[in-house]
Chains A and B, each alone.
Chain A
Amino acid sequence: MIAVGSVGLIVSKVRESTVESLRDSRDTNTRSALNSFLFSEILNVDSTEQRALFLERLIPKLIDLKIALDLDDNSPRNVRRRSLKRVMLQLTSEVIGETRVRLTTAFAYFGFVEETIALMKNNRWWIRAKSCKNAGLMLNEAALPHLEQCLDDENDDVRIEAAQAMIDIAGVEIVAPILMRLKEMSLWMRVRLSKSILVFGEHAVPPLITALRSEYPVIQGFCVENLGILGDVKAVPTLLEYINYAVIDVKHKSLIALGKLGDDRSIPIIKKFLSAEDELLRVDAAKAAGNLSTPFLAYSLHWMLMKDTISVKLAAAEALSRTGERGIQSLKYAAGIGDEQVRMVAIQFLHEAGVPAFELREDGGAV
């Protein structure tokens, strides 16, 4: 058994390069045939009529391509078909515009879309996930209802690929329906979908605001944190209203988002949270205040630095160091009269704000 395993391993290692080179050679032939289909006689497809005409003229070209592929190679049909699918999927990231439409049409013509939809019901999760991913690359709207069903899949990767594919096919309009449909989200899913949604920029704000109506806090939190990352102040009124009745986790995220948005309309609500009972909320509020860089919150922050817990002190001091001259004065004052911990915290952030330590020690009445 050991001998068989060892010999098999060595043989497969040696064979590896040969198999790869054969595959590369086959793919090169396929790519060459596809290139003549994709890049010949660019047509205009701006209007519906033009599009219909375009499709009509594309069919003979597809037949030519099929014949070319059949004649080009002596390998079995399924091997040629796999090669064609592989090369077409590779090309999806390389072509745009009218050429991309040709590619999308070819996927449907060769039956790859149907094949992919059927595989979305496969028992093995990685086949389902791969099919969802491919459906997104094929950009065929026929896949949308099937992808929607995959949003309820038990496997996280399948759900992620399905959501991603739906966004690829239908664009920003589908973001809100996807988010309203989802019940849970791993951090990985948040990271993946966030990237896809942020691409839409300000157009993503309305669907994210719509999806705040989701009954699941994890989805609400996702919408809030992405509104913050997008940085579009159109979201401020909604967040200001929403923060009052959000669950505690989402409150944290809303504070961070308001801080990122940096809009002065947030000052009253952030001030309110600077005296919240929950320590972490006070920390987040202090961080948000730091992002706002407004002198109007300096007084509250100063008292947090003097009287609160060490975590809040650190957040408040950092916020003060970003609040201009008034914040710096407050820190200098704390460095002079505070207890040992307050002094240390104040000196650290004065130092980080560029006030040299020697200056503090010598001037200050401060230290």
Chain B
Amino acid sequence: MGFLSDTLHFILYSYAVFVIGFFVFVNIFYFSMYTISFGAILTYLRRHMFCDYRVIMQSELTPAVSILAPAYNESATCIESVNSLLKLNYPTAEVIFINDGSKDATLEVVVKEFDLIRTERVYIPVINTKPVRGIYVSRKPEYKNLIVVDKQNGGKADALNVGINVSRYELLCAIDADSILEDDALLKVAKPFLDDDRVIAVGGIVRIANGCTIERGRVTDVRLSKKLLPSFQVIEYYRAYLSGRMGWGAINGLLIISGAFGLFKRDIVLKVGGYKHDTVGEDMELVVRMHRYCLENDIPYSVEFVPDPVCWTEAPESLAVLGRQRNRWHRGLLDTLLIHKTMLFNKRYKVLGLVSVPYFIFIELLGPVIEAFGYAAVGIGLFLGIVNIEIFILFFIVSVIYGVMFSVSSVILEEISFHRYPRTRDLVKLLFLGIVENFGYRQITVWWRIKAFWDYARGVQSWGAMTRVGFKRH
């Protein structure tokens, strides 16, 4: 009995030391990333002062963009989405709407609304995809930049690959058909390609539209949702984008460009074979493969993040839907990191191999596991009376303070840079939620992410139904 107790004591003690070390390391890392992000945002804002986007809009030299919008069963929202994409400010752009074998009337609705006719356009499957059933263009000149592709169902990645095959222009913009882009979003996200010809991909910031007012496909009044869950996600998105991706972009270690809004150089996407269709993290996987391709072939390149071009998306408002989303994200992360595991600590891959991949494996991927074990260890320790309650409370308070500090820092970063929420009341609420999210919400997200390991092991490949309430439209 004494031996067992000693062993347990030793295990718990060792784990506590490990967790404290991990905690210190993670927070130093976050602080460094925050500092880099802060500097990168300042540089961005300074460069922004010298950029008149109307010049990009009017120039014949601006690289043309093919916008890829895959859709599955989107008959209710597809017309508004396509109209919104067609109205984007950009000199030369084509909108390729891909109907991924929808079971509802998505295709019929689009064909009728935009007066489409089937064309004899050549489809060259540079990337292998499910069969294309037809390519449609409009008879009306005002929709001459719209191409609608009807294909057999094959998932989002397959639909995007069809879009890539059909596209004609040098830049590809992948977006979710149900997202809303701001008028100048495309101009802003294209700017890094003008600044530096080594840029191969640029990610744009995604913001949460719940609570905002939408009129004719445009966000006209930005405010926080009255519901708690979407508001928590606003802070999470701030942390992920402004404190995280901005910093990763600055050191050329950005692994994720959101599937909801990213711009890519078409020739590199074709060279790496397009999106991988048997993973749920196809957006991250493509970016990692593009990095790898350039590094393995000694091609000078950069992957950047722009904090300003805004893509608005609807965040889940129920725990069940949010849980499915987070579970999918974590499975995607796990899958991508397993596919590219050889990059870990491989100096051939520079920042990616030595910093980004280790960070994503040990902090993003395994962080929830370590945290969950920590909760379990504390529970066992308290039960057995071998955890000093004062030390535990102190550690808990310190960890909460750190959590709050990073949340508040992200809100501050947003406020000094883009301040999209004009109301003081919304700002106060965000700061308050930065504290509250540490009690309950954070633990639930840990559980969802741990469950993702189990689902991945079982071979679950589904996206899970993403029920959406719909934007508040006027």
Contacts and interface: CB of A to CB of B under 8 A. Distances in A.
B61 A129 contact: no
Nearest to B401: A2
Contact of A5 (B49, B58, B409): B409
A157 B55 CA distance: 14
Contact of A157 (B47, B61, B62, B63): B47
Interface stretch (B151-159, B187-195, B306-314): B187-195
Given A13-B427, A129-B50, A348-B121, A191 B59 contact: yes
B141 to A, nearest CB: 13
Interface in A315-363: 341, 344-345, 347-348, 350-352, 357
Contacts of A2: 401, 404-405, 408
Contact of B61 (A1, A5, A161, A190): A190
A299 interface: no
Contact of A348 (B120, B401, B428): B120
Interface residues of A, number: 38
Nearest to B424: A13
A263 interface: no
A191 B61 contact: yes
A36 interface: no
Interface in A1-43: 1-2, 5-6, 9-10, 13-14
A199 B68 CA distance: 35
A68 interface: no
Contacts of A351: 119-121
Nearest to B419: A13
B427 A357 contact: no
A9 B427 contact: yes
Contacts of A225: 61
A14 B46 CA distance: 24
B61 A187 contact: yes
Contact of B427 (A10, A126, A310, A341): A10
A272 interface: no
A1 B124 CA distance: 59
B457 interface: no
A10 B428 contact: yes
B50 A194 contact: no
A156 interface: yes
A160 interface: yes
Contacts of B278: none
Interface residues of B, number: 36
A229 B60 contact: yes
A109 interface: no
A1 B406 CA distance: 11
B6 interface: no
Contact of B50 (A160, A187, A190): A160
A357 B194 contact: no
Contacts of B46: 125-126
Interface of B is mostly: helix
B209 interface: no
A181 B193 CA distance: 24
A252 to B, nearest CB: 13
A309 to B, nearest CB: 11
B411 interface: yes
Contacts of B391: none
A310 B195 contact: no
Contacts of A190: 61
Nearest to B415: A9
A289 interface: no
B465 interface: no
B49 A126 contact: yes
A187 B408 contact: no
A185 to B, nearest CB: 11
Contacts of B376: none
A82 interface: no
Interface in B374-420: 401, 404-405, 408-409, 411-412, 415, 419
B122 A188 contact: no
B298 interface: no
Contacts of A126: 46-47, 49-50
B108 interface: no
A13 B50 contact: no
A61 interface: no
Given A129-B50, A133-B50, A345 B62 contact: no
A314 B124 CA distance: 11
A332 to B, nearest CB: 13
Given A9-B412, A10-B428, A314-B122, A187 B197 contact: yes
B122 A1 contact: no
Contacts of A186: 194-197
Given A2-B405, A6-B408, A187-B63, 5 more contacts: A1-B405, A2-B404, A126-B49, A191-B56, A351-B120
22 contacts: A1-B405, A2-B401, A2-B405, A2-B408, A5-B408, A5-B409, A10-B424, A10-B431, A14-B424, A157-B47, A186-B195, A186-B197, A188-B194, A191-B194, A194-B59, A194-B61, A195-B59, A344-B122, A347-B120, A348-B120, A348-B121, A351-B121
Q: Which 7 A-B pairs have the closest CB atoms?
A: A188-B194, A126-B46, A187-B194, A347-B120, A191-B59, A351-B120, A344-B122
